[in-house]
Copies of this chain bind each other. A is one copy, B any other.
Amino acid sequence: MADILHRIGVKDIAPETVYEALTTVDGLAGWWTEETTGSGTAGGRLAFRFPPVGGFDMEVLETRPAEHVSWRVVDGPEEWIGTTIDWRLRRDGDYTIVLFEHRGWKEPVEFMSHCSTKWASYLLSLKAFAETGTGAPAPGDVPISDWH
């Protein structure tokens, strides 16, 4: 098993605001992909699409306000199915610290390396969205390679 782990700090923004960006369709569409539908609270299901290449369906496993959001991937690229994505939030001084974990990859394939870099760029989009109201969601996301 292999994991993608990241950490960002969102400046002068409360954990509640970041939590909202992770659990509402408008929030998620503001930094990940504009084509987000579904319900982001525990028991719900979220569909993220990145035309023309497909996307991901997530089951929302847990949503503890301002602290923790957990998803399980139920549809998407084969390597992603069954993996879990956790978001842990805490306040630390002027920052909301976001610990990100995408766990359960069967193998550290090259596609995982790509996703690791791409997640980092989306986390910086989340940070910008929470701090300024403007993120860089798909289709206006930052291109990092031939795999987009």
Interface centre among A97, A114, A120 (most CB of B within 10 A): A120
Q: Which of A11-58 contact B (CB under 8 A)?
A: 11
Residues of A in contact, count (CB < 8 Å): 33
The prevalent SS among residues of A at the interface is mixed
Q: How far is the CB of A137 from chain B (nearest CB, A)?
A: 17
- For residue A74, CB closer than 8 A to chain B, the reply is no
**Do A97 and B145 touch across chains, with their CB atoms under 8 A apart?**
yes
A145 and B127 alpha carbons, distance in the complex (Å): 9
**Do A144 and B8 touch across chains, with their CB atoms under 8 A apart?**
yes
Q: What is the interface of chain A, defined by CB distance below 8 A to chain B? A: 2-9, 11, 92-95, 97, 99-100, 108, 110, 112-114, 116-117, 120-121, 123-124, 127, 142, 144-147
